[in-house]
Amino acid sequence: MSYGGGGSKVSNFRHACAARGTAGANLRAHARVPHSQGVSVTIGLEEQVETGQVDIKRSGSQPSGKGPAEWFTGTVRIDPLFQAPDPARVAGASVTFEPGARTAWHTHPLGQTLIVTAGCGRAQRWGGPIEEIRPGDVVWFPPGEKHWHGATATTAMTHIAIQEQLNGKAVDWMEKVSDEQYQA
């Protein structure tokens, strides 16, 4: 297989990109040369097309925050993940609850999705049973549904929380979950 000069696979790929209107594409070639049965060369090509600005938030680049005492019971750490720019209205954070920690009762005007990533937790909607949630579980709270979520009494829990804003507001906080409600 040829991999250099005007008739090469790389050159042909560049021409194909130009014909498709992706002349600004960046190409990377990968070669593999096995040591048995002579020499063979494998070329792999990756196309990287410039599509505009990409905003990458590097892990650990945004400061962690403590969950405010008026909205949480116990020790809670909030690690912001993203806040989409206008006109988008979605945001997400990784939230870690130490054993016994939990949110206050609250609602979301456009609902909320939780993706449990570690530990063991609890979630409850108003008037419903307390549900155990574990890593890999995806929890959906519909718009306006009063609920809470947090760790179990003995195990920490981390989830990714995703919600959208309506008129600049993503959550309406209410009263704290009592110890009696939490232990029910």
CATH number of the domain at 73, please.
Answer: 2.60.120.10
Beta strand 90-97 with 76-83 is antiparallel
Q: What is the arithmetic mean of pLDDT over 97-121?
A: 99
User: Which pLDDT does position 141 carry in this prediction?
Assistant: 99
pTM value is 0.70
Helix (H, G, I), strand (E, B) or coil at 13: helix
Q: What is the arithmetic mean of pLDDT over 155-180?
A: 97
Please tell me the total count of domains within the chain. 1
Query: Among 16-30, 61-75, 77-91, where is mean pLDDT lowest?
Result: 16-30
Instruction: Burial-class residue 80 by CB neighbours within 10 Å (0-12, 13-18, 19+).
Output: middle
Q: What is the arithmetic mean of pLDDT over 158-174?
A: 97
| Assigned domain for 23 exists | no
Query: Among 30-34, 71-75, 122-126, where is mean pLDDT lowest?
Result: 30-34
Q: How far is CA 70 from the centre of its chain?
A: 26
Q: Dihedrals φ, ψ of 18, to 5°?
A: -65, -40
| Assigned domain for 122 exists | yes
User: Which pLDDT does position 61 carry in this prediction?
Assistant: 85
Residue 168 reports pLDDT greater than 50: yes
| Assigned domain for 43 exists | no
Q: What is the residue range of 162's domain?
A: 65-183
| Assigned domain for 28 exists | no
Indicate the average pLDDT of the chain: 81
| C-beta separation of 33 from 40 below 8 A | yes
| Assigned domain for 46 exists | no
Give the model's confidence band at 57: pLDDT under 50 very low, under 70 low, under 90 confident, else very high. Answer: confident
Q: Which of 17-21, 41-45, 94-98 has the highest mean pLDDT?
A: 94-98
| Assigned domain for 91 exists | yes
| Assigned domain for 34 exists | no
The residue ranking higher by pLDDT, 24 or 54, is 54
User: Which pLDDT does position 51 carry in this prediction?
Assistant: 54
User: Which pLDDT does position 14 carry in this prediction?
Assistant: 42
Residue 20 reports pLDDT greater than 70: no
Q: Which of 67, 92, 63 is nearest to 77 (CA)?
A: 67
